[in-house]
Amino acid sequence: MSITSAIVLYAVIWFIVFFIAIPIRLKTQGDLGEIVPGTQAGAPEVHELKKKAWITTFVTLVIWGISCAVIISGTLTMKDIDIFNRMGS
């Protein structure tokens, strides 16, 4: 795996984990009962994005490390996941 591939893999995993983490413990204006006129009740009030970004970074490092180890070791190859046998034997 090249450096560019490793960086792209990290970025993809980071964004997937971040989009999963965003709605966790999100408090909306409707939840807090303080709706600003002209906004929806579902607008976030307390989102803690900085904290979630740091947690996402550390979780992604673990997932990325495991993914890189599997890719580099050759434990799982494309032929192993080719269920329709399109790559030949």
The parts of the chain modelled with pLDDT lower than 50 are none
Cβ atoms of 41 and 35 closer than 8 Å: yes
- The per-residue pLDDT for 76 is 85
Greatest CA separation found in the chain? 64
- The per-residue pLDDT for 89 is 64
pTM of the prediction? 0.79
- The per-residue pLDDT for 67 is 94
Q: Where are the beta strands (DSSP E) in 1-89?
A: 27-28, 44-46
- The per-residue pLDDT for 82 is 86
